[in-house]
Structure 1
């Protein structure tokens, strides 16, 4: 329980910083740094692309050097990257800073998962991961509120102060992680150093999860654009939908995760998530006929989100060898970077360009991906355990 509390506190502090960064970064880079929208988009894309490539080797480093020390180092690197944004005033330096930020964030996520796997019993990992996810959402909400204050003030001092607090948050997170016991490095196993890159069944599971994660830009980008261009709903509806999503994860994510008892349950949860996401897309498509459809749609969307998260956590931990959790979690986590890079372009093209048909096509992709997870897990099982999926 003590270790869980430390993990939760470190997650909370870091996510508050993340929330403040997400809300204010575009305004800061445009108004203070002086970058164009194209430069901001390109720089962030490059940064997350570099981070997605670095996730596996940094996860491997966590396996071979111990996940606590690597997690602390990467939290410090994240603080340094955020601090660098305070002084960056040119596009090349901006790209370097975003690359450091994306690398540190992706590696930190992998190291934290390896640390969780080492400190928590296998049967409890998914539930603890759900607690951390609920904490993440709560922290993001607090950070977003702080970011809202900076946006309201709209002064260089406000933005600079917020970024300084973001850097400080990761320094505090690093200190909290130091309070965890040192985990000895995993023994060197025979075979290739980065074995996950040759594990085709796990690669397929990761790819399917990446497709499912394309839901990520829905509430932050696609639905707001849809509301603005296709409905008569008030602009504050965007905030209301985000509030429903955040509150639902805080209240129900752990309860959903407790229902996952193994790979069979996890695969079924991902399959159901695909079906529920299709229903959400279909309901969102009806929103030009009434803003109540938006509320129903977000309830379905967050239900699918929680099912997917709970199922994918169980799958990613269970299918990964215990002595290589770091590199496997780093590889699995590349799905987030892929969704962040490609999701906005793909979904805005489909939904905003295609209207109702685009929503239905998007939903059908979620159904197909969700249905594909169980066969993929069964393919991976002979190498791990006899449990059916």
Structure 2
């Protein structure tokens, strides 16, 4: 959806294993990273996601009913903001590599918070357009800098694990923000909507304060005792294998929009299930990610395991699409059962793919250039959000069950395509023959 893409958080899709648990209930224990710096980044993700969840839920009504924008103006502004966010990752990630991710992230998130305060007083299209573009620009850049900080804090399988926590706790934050906005929607007054915009700004303002608790050593990426080197080369734009890996991820990540775009249209046009079931299925997906993302991701500790997991996600998503196609047949009760099964299979494939993508995005990037490389990889995530409607709507609405089958085959091919792309990337890195052989297996 346009507004979601406009203010996308690049830490959203993501994976294994700390030993410290934080009990939520006697039956459910939610693990947090044992590393202090990883926990700091987790709380940044929580605050950022809470503000974003509130904003996404209330923004359409706020800008159309309170600010007075037309739907065309709203769509134009959010699309422009999405483009700004799409283009911000690489240059700001490059800056983070050079100047240090800690301070770069803090400054960009502080600027995003200041621009969000401006949303409280915008009253026409042009101020809204400038404000939305600035917020998306600073948030996209801040996300790339946070990815670079994460790469310095943890490496390898531990980085995959930490990103799993960030994704899980990010979903918790989205739920908190959605609940806050839900209260405002129920009250339905100008003051209530302004409180939601204020809540978003407050959450963003907390992010730089939290991220500055990271050690100052993250500021120096030069390895020269604080002396800044010359500007590093912008290698990511010339790294063809990494670009192919990112492109394959873009195609696969279309599946993230199934529950938001394809499922509501499918239920309404091709099944006997009540449209209200969409909310229950989306909630099921969210809770599953919160509870099981880390557990599903265990065991993905190297590139070879990530490639095998990626292949498994392609097969799993194919199966989910086939089950979605079957849901058009039968009574309302039968359809509901089949849809629950399909969503369960889909969310498993989603979690496996997220974990595999996390490890590949880090391990295939040079250790001293994670800002520009993660910024580039996250640009692919944002691009996937933008192209998803153009792919899903014609397939699911026009082609129906056949469209689901075509979509499933696309996921299968994408799942199989990653292995040769990773082998190419490893050869470019000068990896050992054994590592390349394992990636192929």
Deviating more after overlay: 82-91 vs 128-137 = 82-91
User: Which residues of 2 match residues 78-157 of structure 1 at below 5 A?
Assistant: 78-157=112-191
Deviating more after overlay: 188-197 vs 149-158 = 188-197
**1:186 paired residue number:** 221
Distance 1:39 1:360, change over 3 A: farther
TM-score, normalized by length of structure 1?
A: 0.96
8 Å Cα contact 2:156-2:359 kept in structure 1: no
State which of 283, 305, 314 in structure 1 corresponds to 2:359: 314
State which of 219, 226, 235 in structure 1 corresponds to 2:259: 219
1:368 counterpart SS class: helix
- Cα distance between partner residues in 2 of 1:311 and 1:164: 36
**2:105 paired residue number:** 71
Distance 1:288 1:341, change over 3 A: same
Question: Do residues 199 (structure 1) and 239 (structure 2) align?
Answer: yes
8 Å Cα contact 1:150-1:162 kept in structure 2: yes
Deviations 1:270-312 (A, max 9, x none): 1111111111112112222312121111111111110111000
Question: Do residues 174 (structure 1) and 208 (structure 2) align?
Answer: yes
**1:36 paired residue number:** 70
TM-fit CA distance, 1:93: 2.5
Question: Do residues 324 (structure 1) and 369 (structure 2) align?
Answer: yes
- Cα distance between partner residues in 2 of 1:354 and 1:77: 45
**1:248 paired residue number:** 288
Give the root-mean-square deviation of aligned CA atoms.
Answer: 1.7
- Cα distance between partner residues in 2 of 1:306 and 1:344: 21
- Cα distance between partner residues in 1 of 2:71 and 2:263: 20
8 Å Cα contact 2:108-2:138 kept in structure 1: yes
Deviations 1:122-173 (A, max 9, x none): 3311001111111111111111111111111121111110110110001111
Deviations 1:168-212 (A, max 9, x none): 001111111111112143338899721100100000001110111
The number of residues matched between the two structures is: 389
Deviations 1:83-106 (A, max 9, x none): 222222222322222211221221
TM-score, normalized by length of structure 2?
A: 0.85
8 Å Cα contact 2:45-2:170 kept in structure 1: yes
State which of 69, 75, 80 in structure 2 corresponds to 1:46: 80
State which of 193, 198, 207 in structure 2 corresponds to 1:164: 198
- Cα distance between partner residues in 2 of 1:363 and 1:176: 41
**2:48 paired residue number:** 14
8 Å Cα contact 1:49-1:341 kept in structure 2: no
Deviating more after overlay: 345-354 vs 127-136 = 345-354
Deviations 1:294-334 (A, max 9, x none): 11111111111101110000000001101100000000001
1:333 counterpart SS class: helix
State which of 299, 322, 339 in structure 2 corresponds to 1:282: 322
User: Which residues of 2 match residues 306-385 of structure 1 at below 5 A?
Assistant: 306-384=351-429, 385=431
- Cα distance between partner residues in 1 of 2:376 and 2:325: 34
- Cα distance between partner residues in 2 of 1:370 and 1:81: 40
8 Å Cα contact 1:276-1:301 kept in structure 2: yes
Distance 1:303 1:72, change over 3 A: same
State which of 329, 340, 343 in structure 2 corresponds to 1:295: 340
TM-fit CA distance, 1:352: 1.2
Bigger fraction of residues in helix: 1
1:58 counterpart SS class: helix
2:342 counterpart SS class: helix
